[in-house]
Structure 1
Amino acid sequence: MRIIAVAGQKGGVGKTTTAMNLAAVAAEGARVLLVDVDPQQSATWWADQSDDNLPFDVADDTDPNNLARLRALPYDFVFVDTPGSLEGQAVIDAVLRNADFAVLPTDPAALAIGPLMRTIKQVVVPRGVDYKVLINKVDPRIPSKLEEARDLLDAAGVSRFANHVRMYSVHERAPIEGKVVTQYDNDLRSARAADDYRRIAVEMFAGWTMTTESAALTEVN
């Protein structure tokens, strides 16, 4: 099992959308649970709109004792949508201490980098969780903002995904329609929107494969 926390101190960067859509992509070939520990319960509300038609299970729980036992559940992947602030330290601590990986979404605005860095330094690094920053909500019409965000992250020595997620109106409608990327309509824009998340998932899975192979080689040597 892999436990993936989707975290971030700043609201409005697409944290819940990231969690839901990465869970959807993973569910194409695995048993997946998404756990909503955000007091706003955005993921839970999204799931309610689907009429039980999501390709993965959704649960909401903020009990640190239950969150500490996520690894005992019968799933291949557990995605956890965490609060959009540093409040609820006991809940965040329970999630990150048991997580294998953290995805940290950020929009490409320079003002979003400060809260992101605080999340990394105050929350993620102290708990020893492997992570990558996901540059999200990228406007394809303004490529310079993407390059600026990449440069800022690279200069700070922050680990990030090579791929990014573009801003599409279909993502904004999805919660109301109770859909995730693997359920979008069959048109070009929807396909491109889904491909963004598939690239992120592939990159994440590939990193785990390399880690596993390196560990196996170390044991052999």
Structure 2
Amino acid sequence: MRRSLLIAVGLMAAASTAVPDLAAAQQRRQGDQKRQEQEASAKRKRDAEWNDVQAPLPALRNAGPCPYVKVLYDAARYIDFKDNREASASVAYSGEIQGISAGCQYKDEEPIRVQMEVLFELGKGPQATSNSRTYRYWVAVTKRNDFPITKQYFDLPVTFPAGEDRVYVTEKIGEIVIPRATLTTSGANFEVLVGFDVTPQMAAFNREGKRFRVNAGQAVAGTTSENP
């Protein structure tokens, strides 16, 4: 905005003098040179002020980038097996984080405030003993590629309608407040992670990328093992 205003003022001044004399032209050159020196000095000062030596990443400018928000892969799915037997027929309850939308806001010396919406797909398997289930998930704030700062758990109670084996639920996380060490600390220095509260077996199952087909283990009529 300020740069546009300076250009407009310069154009108006030029229009007021149709044939500038030599002295006026020399004066303008001196003024231009002085202005360039001032701009260069201001740029050096601005770059020094934006240098965030406390951040674990290269210096970032606080132009408003939000923290990185993502699902932790090992905790992205929840699959509860009866008797710890990994088979589609042994699934009691399941869940998967389908997507996240997020936004943030901060300015001056204010902390970073993040709002999130998380979409869950939740399922009831053959070994389910009830139409109700309370899932548990967590939200953690970490320094990017570094240690966690805080972690909070949430309960998600779900009731499956009669005759339905899956539901979709959107959870709204009203506000996550992340303090900033200095005025120049950027939101890009942080990550917000989301995941189910899973057992070590569930985490290993997810890490190995295992999945079940709906008709796993069932014979398909009309198929043959012969090669064409």
TM-score, with normalisation over the residues of structure 2?
0.21
* Bigger proportion of residues as helix: 1
- Larger strand proportion of the pair: 2
Which structure is larger by alpha-carbon Rg, 1 or 2?
2
With the length of structure 1 as denominator, give the TM-score of the two structures: 0.22
